[in-house]
Structure 1
Amino acid sequence: MLDALQELTRLAVHQKTGVRSRLMLDIASWRRRRREELAALGERVARRVAESGERQELAPMTPFERKIVHDAVAAVPGVHSESEGAEPSRRVVVLRD
């Protein structure tokens, strides 16, 4: 719902100004909290994969969410992440290097 509202707002700004906006709505700090949750998830899964060596697939996510997880995984030595699948089922997979 928040993504739909954000897209409608972006379209309205573009129609009014002619400029494409990178506007991001964050109502009641939902996106901030989600960003923190996803970063923690990425780090936790990356550490688990670094220890076990077993690849881990995460649940499907939006491009915005996957980017946050990829960034968190990149900060953990010995592992990397890839995106697999097609939208809307595209997901992050974490693997040991």
Structure 2
Amino acid sequence: MTEQDKAGLEAEGDIAADFLEELLDILDMDGDIDISVEAGRAKVAVVSEGPNQDLKRLVGPDGEVLDALQDLARLAVQSDTGQLSRLMLDVADFRAGRRERLAEQAREAIAEAKESGQKVALPPMNAFERKVVHDVVLEAGLSSESEGEDPQRHVVVLPAQS
């Protein structure tokens, strides 16, 4: 990644952070905003020093509110830059925790596929969740594919080829 690309992604993070700071002010919620660049995309995290029960309201059940906030932050970036954004937003470490739970679920499916020699289908997931599972499966030396249409789109872990 060039310095220019990194600077552009950092600028995306700054725009999203400004948007989120205004939102937190309107909601009268406390939170610190961390900006980073990871895997070729801007990452913005809203974190709290103390108990983050307030912030968890910004996550919602199964992350639906977080997904909507991420879309709004991406729109704020697009409105400012004229470019589509692949920015990732995390609130109260929800995505970090979800990533670990998904990795464990993927490892269980990998073990089952290796033992049974059969395809193993996982439950429906959003694009972020499917990407996490695909990465874990690839790292384990197997392959996977997404099947179905949203909202029922899911990952299928394929057994090793003989």
**Common fold, TM-score beyond 0.5?**
yes
- Does residue 143 of structure 2 align to residue 80 of structure 1? yes
Q: Report if aligned partners of 1:40, 1:72 keep a CA contact under 8 Å in 2.
A: no
CA RMSD between the two structures: 1.4
Question: In the aligned structure 2, how far is the partner of 1:68 from the partner of 1:44?
Answer: 14
2:78 aligned to 1, 8, 14, which one?
Answer: 14
Which of the pair has the greater relative contact order for Cα pairs under 8 Å at 6+ separation?
1
Q: CA deviation at 1:43?
A: 1.7
Q: TM-score, normalised by structure 2?
A: 0.55
Q: CA deviation at 1:12?
A: 1.3
Q: TM-score, normalised by structure 1?
A: 0.88
Greater percentage in strand = 2
Structure 2 residue runs without a partner (length 5+) = 1-64
Structure 2 equivalent of residue 32 of structure 1: 96
Higher Cα Rg, which structure: 2
Secondary structure at 1:58 match in 2: strand
Structure 1 residue runs without a partner (length 5+) = none
Q: CA deviation at 1:91?
A: 0.5
Question: In the aligned structure 1, how far is the partner of 2:146 from the partner of 2:77?
Answer: 31
* Count of residue correspondences: 96
Aligned sequence identity (%): 52
Structure 1 equivalent of residue 155 of structure 2: 92
